[in-house]
Amino acid sequence: MPQEVFASAQFDEAMAEFDAPTTDDWEFVTETAELKIYRRLHAEGSGLYEYKTFGTLKGMDAQTAYQVYMDLDYRREWDNLKPEYLHVRPTPESESEDHPESVYWRVKFPLMMDDRDYILYREARSLIDAHGETCYAVLLEVDEDGTAAEPVPSGVIRVREYAQTVVFGPGAPDPDEYTAVYMHYYDNPETSIPKAVVNWAISSGIPTFLKNLKSACKKYKARGEGGMAEVLGDAAAVQDLKATLDQSMEKAFQL
């Protein structure tokens, strides 16, 4: 594995975009009350787009959003995922804090389609924004060595093009209740579905994923405030969270 997967310059670029997103050469797609989404062609002739979204989400603080996003155990616990479907891969470098994690992630696809799986490097850093506030940046990209070395399970198609950048920071007017979010996303799910359908699914899935993240954050906080037993005792809460996490996987392809 190379000594450095993600350069400091990539995190600096993520923070610059978080502080002041640029939209030159990007096509406006849609907006919600909280988010704006843009896209641009990933490569000439590919038919696939990369996406950029930014805004402020009400109902969660930045640290909790970051913790929920990073916590793979929590994801498996509530979505009833087998450990082999979502886990940090053991590698010679996995015990070192100087190297990013290599994550294996298998995603169920609907309509009798083969599942997809991803092997991704993931690294998170705590950084300071232009206003001196603490933010959390996460970068993901394909682990090419792991992708080549890990056997592909039967009935699964391996995804070899994927990249994501996410930044969570304190939002106005109340950082305890608002989170500023920036996301840059590209995924080629290697499907025969028309590219226009794939692009629609991704562009509509991004706001759904971020909306669902808010719901997951509320349940996550219960672990510290009332413990998991309090949430487990609420059948409606359990079903609501499971539906939330199901949708985030199926519609947003992670996380």
Quick check: helix, strand or coil at residue 93? coil
Question: Which CATH code is given to the segment(s) 8-194?
Answer: 3.30.530.20
Q: Is 0.95 surpassed by the pTM of this model? A: no
Q: At 232, is the pLDDT very low, low, confident or very high (cuts 50, 70, 90)?
A: very low
pLDDT tens digits, one per residue of 110-168: 767 788 899 999 999 999 999 999 999 999 999 999 999 999 999 999 999 999 999 99
pLDDT tens digits, one per residue of 38-77: 999 988 877 888 999 999 988 889 999 999 889 888 877 7
The pLDDT value given to residue 219: 78
Average pLDDT rounded to a whole number, residues 90-109: 77
Ranges of each domain in the chain: 8-194
How large is the greatest C-alpha to C-alpha distance in the chain, in angstroms?
53
Answer whether 68's CB lies under 8 Å from 213's CB.
Answer: yes
How many angstroms separate the Cα of 71 from the Cα of each of 81, 157, 192, 220?
13, 25, 32, 10
Average pLDDT rounded to a whole number, residues 189-200: 63
The pLDDT value given to residue 21: 95
Cβ burial 160-171 (10 Å sphere, 16+ → b, else e): eebbbbbbbbbb
The pLDDT value given to residue 115: 87
CA dist 156 and 185 (Å) reads 22
Average pLDDT of every residue of the chain: 80
